[in-house]
Amino acid sequence: MKATNQKVYISTAIDYANAEAHLGHALEKVQADVLARYYRARGREVFFLTGTDENSLGTVRAAKEKKVPVRSFVKEKSDHFYKLREALDLSFDDFIRTTEKRHAQAVQKLWKKVKPDIYLKKYRGLLCSNCETYFKKEEAPDGCCPVHGVKLEEVEEENYFFKLSRYQKQLKKIIESDELKIIPESRKNEVLSFINQGLEDICISRSSQRMQDWGIKTPEDETQTVWCWFDALINYISALDYGKDGQKFKDWWVDNPRKIHCIGKDIIKFHAVYWPAFLLAAGLPLPQVILTHGWLTVDGQKMSKSRGTGVDPFKLSRDYGSDAVRYFLLREIPPTKDGDFSLTKFKERYNADLASGLGNLFSRVNKLAREMKVEPGLAGLETEQAIKEVQQEYVQAMARYDFREALMSVWNLIAFCDQYIEQEEPWKGEEGSAEVVADLLFVLGKIAKLLQPFLPQASQRMTDQLAGKKESGNLFPRLK
């Protein structure tokens, strides 16, 4: 593939530091990691960011319940989320915490930039302390947060507001034209519908007293704390040294058009409406793509620790390996839709595709290669054509951010190899058998490269064994 020095900036949403990670958090991280590894393999310079959101009222309350200092509590939770790096074999380049000095500097700087669009007024509304979002009565007829299911609190305060309404026409034009591309199309339509209903100005601060003096104070007014969403969204540029006008910010945000946010469907409004509006008000470039995944569900309900439906990604990785967890999330779960998890489904997918599919093929071919003392050779015309077709399908799928289709194309190549073995029967040792095995080894090398963004450990083991560096053993032992 032709190398290019074009930069690609990839970010995930940052996780609330008020609970532990579940498999739903892992889905987003793994999708972003696949993109990062894929673009690096194509010769592009990548900056991959993730992190934790630590300045919400929900975090303060969670710390109080545990009877520990808030700062110690968020440090413990942030460290917990950082450990997903090893559990899921993630390759992020930076991990931002919203309690860091570089972040606070960036938040206060952006606040000052958009100050002409900020004003003070008294307000009463229904607030969800979990997501720090105000809802209208018609948006929550049962008095509960439509996302978290918790009872909404009626709050009356004097706060700062941002003139979101001023940017309605501009946002609509940007999204309709795909200047800011929202994937999938259904989420784009959802955002446009929200905008067409009429944008109202939004509250972007909370009283410091109610926030119990936790969070980032608004510039020039110690009585107010920056709303956690205004605060959190800025992580995408605070990690690039926006707060001190660093060269990194110029290189990766200002001069780089390729900026991808990977987020969940429940926070699309914040990323596709509020965040672009803040950037427009500050005169800063917008992201290019907002890639929106669905929920990971258990029995049709969004996975949640508080509801007792959380699946521990650390345990799953320890028991079955990070590649197996990654494969399930990428192959079983539609990249932009909801997908259901069960351990039964997980094991079935593992045995069918990893143990009996890839693992079995790799083991059979390598056994034949050792017996015949064969090394990878140039593929025959039929095999070469199969490789080219799969590579084309793979690249097209990745251009659509369709991880599942990309993996399915690789498994089509695995199926081709299985059929080729059965057709040629190289184990009989007849004339031409060595060439067949050499052909198969060559294809396995291509499969290893295609799998590198998805299954980095298995890919490396395959590459090492094909190069004669070491025996890989059984890639994926069958589960009972």
Active-site residue, from 128, 203, 262, 417: 128
Q: Is 2 in the active site? A: no
Could you list the beta-strand ranges (E) of 38-179.
45-53, 94-97, 118-128, 133-135, 153-162
Which residue is associated with the tokens 């938040």?
107
Is 172 in contact with 196 (CB distance < 8 Å)? yes
Active-site residue, from 103, 109, 148, 261: 148
Q: Is 145 in the active site? A: yes
Q: Which residues contact 234 (CB under 8 A, 6 or more apart)?
A: 103, 106, 107, 110, 242, 278
Q: Distance between terminal CA atoms of the chain? A: 40
Q: Is 271 in the active site? A: no
Q: Is 25 in the active site? A: yes
Q: Is 136 in the active site? A: no
Q: Is 261 in the active site? A: no
Q: With residue 221 as reference, give the H or E element that holds it.
A: strand 221-226
Largest CA distance in the chain: 87
Active-site residue, from 77, 103, 145, 446: 145
Active-site residue, from 7, 22, 29, 103: 22
For 457, the token pair is 């450990």
Active-site residue, from 75, 113, 269, 305: 305
Q: Is 293 in the active site? A: no
Classify residue 332 by burial, with Cβ atoms within 10 Å: 0-12, 13-18, 19+: middle
Active-site residue, from 29, 103, 109, 131: 131
Q: Is 148 in the active site? A: yes
Is 190 in contact with 156 (CB distance < 8 Å)? no
Active-site residue, from 77, 103, 259, 302: 302
Could you list the beta-strand ranges (E) of 294-405.
296-298, 301-302, 339-340
Active-site residue, from 25, 109, 217, 293: 25
Burial 371-408 (b: 16+ CB within 10 A, else e): ebebebeebeeebeebbeebbebbeebbeebbbbbbbb
- What's the rounded Cα separation, in Å, for the pair 63 and 69? 6
Residues annotated catalytic, as ranges: 22, 25, 128, 131, 145, 148, 302, 305
